[in-house]
A and B are shown apart, each in its own frame.
Chain A
Amino acid sequence: MNAIKFLFAAYIATWLIHGIYLGTLVRRFSRLRQQLKELQKK
């Protein structure tokens, strides 16, 4: 039963890492979108 905790911990950790990285990509995209808008305004 205890081993199951490790199994789920590994799977959750995997998707947590992917989620954090995808989050940084989305954040960087939004920042660039903002810069793009500013450039278009000029």
Chain B
Amino acid sequence: MKYLFPILSVLTAILLAYALYEALVVAPTDAQQGDVYRIIYYHVPSAWTAFLLFFINFIASIQYLVNSKPAAKAAMKWIVIAIGVGGVIASFLPPVQKLLPTGMRPSAVATTVLLIPIFYFLVGKFFPGDRLDMLALTTAEVGVVFCTIVLVTGPIWARPVWGIWWAPGDIRLTSTLVLWLIYVSYLVLRRFSSSAQTQLLAAALAVFGALDVPLVYFSIWFFRTQHPQPVIGGGGSMDPRMLHVLLISWLAFLCFAFLVCWSRFRLELLHREIEEAHAMESLAGPGVAAKASLPLTRSLP
């Protein structure tokens, strides 16, 4: 267990290096865009990773909110099961399929819907009590980093391809910027609010903030936008060799995000332990509190 983090770090570094090699050397050059299209191997996996992290943040925030009321907790459990089962069945019904945008596969919708109960119960099982809040904070912070990369690499790609850095009013670009701003405001709230209700307020903000994620994703189908069609889930088409490299790149970024989240989570754990020790010290006197409350063996990675 002690060596797990270093071993995973080395493996992730190798995977990232391999993904970089695949992106720059192995992936074929795009006939229209030339080599600049290779930016997607960082841009798209970063976006997917940010969405996944915001999704986990959403799940953790909901659980944190409902955990404060037992009745709401029990009700939410059944609501989530109903969403999962109902959503999967509904996505294969012909009337619902007619409502789906052109190119969107029902299987992609069903998989996405199924992730809601899976993540809900996994998060609830492995992150009990206050750890839900710590997970929400961790995923929001790392998600903002990945979303920042999306917002930086997107315009760098757009300049040579579209001829402009940013398309003002474009729904995909604007909704992504709004998503980033929502989670930045979430982090600002967490950082500067000293109220006892901060965690609940942040959880409520995160639940509503996450509603922007589907808007960002589906904006391509429902609105006129300059942004290219998605490469997975329908709509766009992509050379299988390019898709292969894209998936390798995403796997590498997912592993990297997992390690960063792990570090950030342990940092938060240590931070709260020290805060608790300080609080106990002020009540019980120096020395006693620090020794009693700090499990020093697990405090540092």
Contacts and interface: CB of A to CB of B under 8 A. Distances in A.
Interface of A: 2-4, 6-7, 9-11, 13-14, 17-18, 21-22, 25, 28-29, 32-33, 35-36, 39-40, 42
A14 B256 CA distance: 13
A36 B160 contact: no
A39 B156 contact: no
Contacts, number: 84
Interface stretch (B109-117, B145-153, B206-214, B220-228): B145-153
A29 B274 CA distance: 12
B213 to A, nearest CB: 20
A6 B264 contact: no
A22 B260 contact: yes
A28 B35 CA distance: 39
Nearest to A2: B160
Contacts of B286: 42
A7 B36 contact: yes
A22 B264 CA distance: 9
A42 B290 CA distance: 8
B159 A42 contact: no
Interface string B288-301: 00100010100111
Given A3-B160, A17-B148, A40-B296, 7 more contacts: A10-B39, A10-B157, A17-B152, A25-B267, A36-B299, A39-B294, A42-B286
13 contacts: A3-B160, A6-B159, A7-B36, A10-B157, A11-B20, A17-B145, A18-B260, A25-B263, A25-B264, A28-B267, A29-B267, A35-B274, A42-B287
B43 interface: yes
A28 to B, nearest CB: 6
